[in-house]
Chains A and B, each alone.
Chain A
Amino acid sequence: MDSGNTAWVLVSAALVLFMTPGLAFFYGGMVRSKNVLGMLMQNIFAMGIISTIWAIIGFSLAFGGDNPIIGNFDFAFMSDVTSLDDDIPGFAFFAFQMMFAVITPALITGATADRLKFGSYALLIALWSIFVYAPAARWVFNADGWIFEMGALDFAGGAAIHINAGMAALAVILVIGNRTGHGSEPMPPHNLPLTVLGTGILWFGWFGFNAGSALAADGVAAQALVNTQLGAATGMLGWLLVERIRTGHATVLGACSGAVAGLVAITPCAGFVGGVAPMIIGTIAGIACYLALFIKARMNWDDSLDVIAVHLIGGIVGTLLLGFFADTAVNGEFDGLFFGGGLELLKDQFVAAVGVGAFSFIATYAIAFAIQRTVGLRVDIDAEMMGLDQSEHAESAYAS
């Protein structure tokens, strides 16, 4: 085993864990003050329940055996994880992947803000982690998974995490409907400084997410780290540019949103591109994700905090652009269209995006629909008016 590589992966696991409370603040600042604890709780609770499920069954379903669709029970309850010891310990890989499993369902909470029953939310993400995340992670991250085998690239989870969570978010909001008052009463963010704090934590943790995905402390990790920074930076610039042109102002929320959009898009590309590619990818993501904000208005979807625009569209942008910018001089076995690889990789990237997206939408819709029809997924109107802080948790965020 290599101690340097092991140290970096262990640190990266901790960095990725930190992204989930970062996401909690990012989202928490954007909801109304009566729902801020509800939002923080949904995120922080994912750290509790998903970590536990991952140890019991999730990791095994994602990484056990050699089936291209789904894993087996070889690693259930963490049995035999040390059999994966290689360059790094099996448990380092297990822990790193655990943090990915934790944050992915948490991403969905931005779309469903202010209207999920807490117990039903717990059931939703538990089932989702087992039946949607674990298979998608297997397809993309496991060498036996069908998307991996096909030759599609996803360095740190553009398809497995962002397209997956984005399509899941759409499925759940189609089941639960819009917030009461959506479109008729203003629901501006209640505390943007929290959102800025969350953005900083996310950005910081994302270095573990992307550079850690090299699973080694090497040149690819360094390239991925630089690409991550440039993706975020140019994502911010791209978003602010369009926002300034269209509304006359460069907003703080726009700077944060653009940075996250750039981070999302650079995620699948991080260890496979070099040169100015991350700047082009980030800029395109910032612009595309801003323009994608208007999808929800046109469709009347109450994607409350824009999970579709930022994560689904950002994930698609990154996944597809990798088909143009992948460069074997940097890493990997496949060149993109701009580096002499022809259309082959772009086609595989497209299939990966559609495959994960379609599966996620259908499976998530089925789970959410089943919960809604049995124990109920959405709070009743009284609870929604009162706010989740009081109705679901019997607490208040701010003394009044």
Chain B
Amino acid sequence: MKLITAVIKPFKLDDVKDALKSAGVAGITVSEVRGFGRQGGHTETYRGAEYKIDFVPKVSVSILVDDPDVDGVVEVIANAARTEKIGDGKIWVTDVDRVVRIRTGEEGADAV
């Protein structure tokens, strides 16, 4: 059982969601996040005063997958989210000890 977390450009969310659906992924969790990376921030000017905005808005997508599906899902996300410009984001995979479906009490791969 793995947790795939992808931080992507917000406007790519629909593409990633559609690609994951087509690939048979049953559910994802999305949150709006801010952060900085190599893309850096930008400056805004209000009434002559410059403001450095360091944090860039991104969308974080979390997906629980069974071990054999991990590589395929990572590739689907990467292909859908890629623009080849700086700031496309990152994908990482972490181990998950236990997963429970609340409604039925199913565990492990059955709960994904």
Residues of A within 8 A of B (CB): 186, 188-189, 243, 246-247, 249, 251, 253-254, 257, 290, 293-294, 297, 306, 309
Is the beta-carbon distance between B52 and A246 smaller than 8 angstroms?
Answer: no
Is the beta-carbon distance between A254 and B51 smaller than 8 angstroms?
Answer: no
Task: Give B26-66 as 1s and 0s: 1 = Cβ < 8 Å from A's Cβ atoms.
Answer: 00000000000000000011111111110000000000000
Q: Which residues of B contact A297 (CB under 8 A)?
A: 49
Q: Which residues of A contact B52 (CB under 8 A)?
A: 186
Is the beta-carbon distance between B48 and A247 smaller than 8 angstroms?
Answer: yes
Which of the residues B45, B47, B50, B53 comes within 8 Å of A306, measured between beta carbons? B47
Which of the residues B47, B49, B50, B51 comes within 8 Å of A257, measured between beta carbons? B47
Distance in angstroms from A31 CB to nearest chain B CB is 12
Q: Which residues of B contact A246 (CB under 8 A)?
A: 48
Is the beta-carbon distance between A254 and B47 smaller than 8 angstroms?
Answer: yes
- How far apart sit A253 and B51, CA to CA, in the bound complex (Å)? 14
Distance in angstroms from A246 CB to nearest chain B CB is 7
Q: What are 18 contact pairs spanning A and B, CB under 8 A?
A: A186-B51, A186-B52, A186-B53, A188-B53, A189-B46, A246-B48, A247-B45, A247-B48, A247-B50, A249-B45, A251-B45, A251-B46, A253-B46, A253-B47, A254-B47, A257-B47, A293-B48, A294-B48
Pick the most buried of B45, B46, B50, B53: most chain A CB atoms within 10 A of its CB.
B46
Distance in angstroms from B31 CB to nearest chain A CB is 13
Distance in angstroms from A99 CB to nearest chain B CB is 28
- How far apart sit A192 and B87, CA to CA, in the bound complex (Å)? 26
In the A-B complex, list the 5 residue pairs whose CB atoms are closest, starting with the nearest. Answer: A186-B51, A293-B48, A247-B45, A188-B51, A293-B47
Q: Which residues of B contact A309 (CB under 8 A)?
A: 47
Interface of A is mostly: helix
- How far apart sit A39 and B45, CA to CA, in the bound complex (Å)? 22
Is the beta-carbon distance between B51 and A290 smaller than 8 angstroms?
Answer: no
Q: Which residue of B lies closest to A309 (CB)?
A: B47
Pick the most buried of B44, B48, B52: most chain A CB atoms within 10 A of its CB.
B48
Q: Which residues of B contact A188 (CB under 8 A)?
A: 44, 46, 51, 53
Pick the most buried of B45, B47, B52: most chain A CB atoms within 10 A of its CB.
B47
Give 6 new A-B contacts, CB below 8 A, not counting A188-B46, A246-B48, A247-B45. Answer: A188-B44, A189-B46, A247-B48, A293-B47, A297-B49, A309-B47
Q: Which residues of A contact B45 (CB under 8 A)?
A: 247, 249, 251
Q: Which residue of B lies closest to A246 (CB)?
A: B48
Q: Which residue of B lies closest to A247 (CB)?
A: B45
- How far apart sit A243 and B48, CA to CA, in the bound complex (Å)? 7
Q: Which residues of A contact B44 (CB under 8 A)?
A: 188
Q: Which residues of B contact A290 (CB under 8 A)?
A: 48
Distance in angstroms from B12 CB to nearest chain A CB is 25
Q: Which residues of A contact B48 (CB under 8 A)?
A: 243, 246-247, 290, 293-294
Q: Which residue of B lies closest to A243 (CB)?
A: B48
Distance in angstroms from B92 CB to nearest chain A CB is 28
Q: Which residues of A contact B47 (CB under 8 A)?
A: 253-254, 257, 293, 306, 309
Q: Which residue of B lies closest to A289 (CB)?
A: B47
- How far apart sit A290 and B46, CA to CA, in the bound complex (Å)? 11
Distance in angstroms from B54 CB to nearest chain A CB is 9
Q: Which residue of B lies closest to A291 (CB)?
A: B48
Distance in angstroms from A112 CB to nearest chain B CB is 17
- How far apart sit A251 and B43, CA to CA, in the bound complex (Å)? 13
Q: Which residues of B contact A294 (CB under 8 A)?
A: 48
Distance in angstroms from A306 CB to nearest chain B CB is 6
Distance in angstroms from A107 CB to nearest chain B CB is 17
